[in-house]
Amino acid sequence: MNDAAIHVNFLRELNWTSAALIAVVLLSCRLLIFFIRRMVRHFAESSPSHLRLLILRLAPIARLFISIAGIAMIIPIIIEPNFEDIIALIATVSVALAFALKDYVSCLIAGVVTIIENTYQPGDWIEIDGYYGEVKTIGTRAVHIVTADDTEIIIPHKKLWSSSISNASSGKQSLLCVTNFYLHADHDGLAVREVLMNIAETSQYKKAGTAVKIAVIEMPWGTRYKVKSYVNESREQFSMMTDLTLRGKERLRAMRITFAQTVYAENQSKK
């Protein structure tokens, strides 16, 4: 007997009856999943709103258990139930699971490293792979962040190995806000700097006892002003940026300052 025959020796010889039985099991599972999904959705839509999501969560759980039950019914049909073959099957499944779960294990290890090194913690504002938001939960597999648009982003911990992670608050209540102004190059820079400094200093969101800094960068399409100021509470950072933008724009228009034209900035970004 060759190696190929040894590997498949634990499989039963299938006949039309066995094939039909397997087909019946698969079809029954599909129909049962469909029926339960419809039933769960019906109960969820007719229940109080605070219970809707909790009821909908039952659908994937029921689907998982039905699938496991279906597999458990099919295995004895296609596999000879003797000790050696069961051990061989368990070993094969274990190897397959080891490959399938290697990413999950990597996430678990990265999660432990994240907690030990305190890379970020709940309440921090972090950016990973272009997603910026507040850390809500650090799970065993992933970190849950909520963006400024109130969207929850779930990011696997294994990103720690391959991606840069920016932490804007690092466990502190405050963080640095940067508000940008784009102006035409022909203007009184010292006067604009003084106005923007005054606006940032008088903002209701500014953290007391912190200094305001303004960086000015000359660009081919105009002048860029970066107003840097610490916000009192990290969750108010977007309110502060909005406050500085609106009041700054009003003061600059009163000074008859011309803003940079969008077309110039767009053409520059395409080069």
Q: Which residues pair with 135 in a beta bridge?
A: 145
Q: How far is CA 270 from the centre of its chain?
A: 29
Question: In 3-state terms, what secondary structure has residue 208?
Answer: coil
Name the CATH architecture for the domain at 175-270: 2-Layer Sandwich (3.30)
Domain boundaries, the chain: 3-79, 105-167, 175-270
34 token code pair? 């469909």
Q: Tell me the pLDDT band of 180, cut-offs 50, 70 and 90.
A: very high
Element (DSSP H or E) covering residue 135: strand 131-138
Decide if 163 contacts 110 (C-beta within 8 A): no
Q: Measure the N-to-C terminal CA separation of the chain; round to a whole number of Å.
A: 68
SS3 content of the chain, % helix, strand, coil (to 5): 55, 20, 25
| pLDDT tens-digit map of 122-158 | 888 999 988 999 998 888 888 999 998 889 999 998 8
> Is the pLDDT reported for residue 217 higher than 80?
yes
Q: How many angstroms separate the CA atoms of 184 and 259, rounded?
A: 5
Query: In this predicted model, which residue has the larger pLDDT, 266 or 261?
Result: 261
Kindly report the number of other CB atoms within 10 A of residue 230's CB atom. Answer: 23
Between helices 83-100 and 102-117, what is the axis angle to 10°?
A: 50
Q: How many angstroms separate the CA atoms of 35 and 32, rounded?
A: 5
Element (DSSP H or E) covering residue 225: strand 222-231
Which pLDDT belongs to residue 75?
76
Decide if 128 contacts 158 (C-beta within 8 A): no
The DSSP string of 44-58 is HHHS-HHHHHHHHTH
Backbone angles phi, psi at 267, to 5 degrees: -65, -35
206 token code pair? 């500014």
Q: Average per-residue pLDDT in the chain?
A: 84
Q: Is the pTM of this model over 0.85?
A: no
Task: Provide mean pLDDT across the span 176-194.
Answer: 92
Which pLDDT belongs to residue 125?
93
DSSP strand pairing (125-128 vs 175-183): unpaired
Kindly report the number of other CB atoms within 10 A of residue 169's CB atom. Answer: 20
> What letters, b where the CB count within 10 A reaches 16 and e where it falls short, cover 255-270?
eebeebeeeeeeeeee
Task: Provide mean pLDDT across the span 85-106.
Answer: 77
Burial of 117 (0-12, 13-18, 19+ CB in 10 A): exposed
190 token code pair? 């010292």
Instruction: Please identify, in words, the CATH class of the domain defined by 105-167.
Output: mainly beta
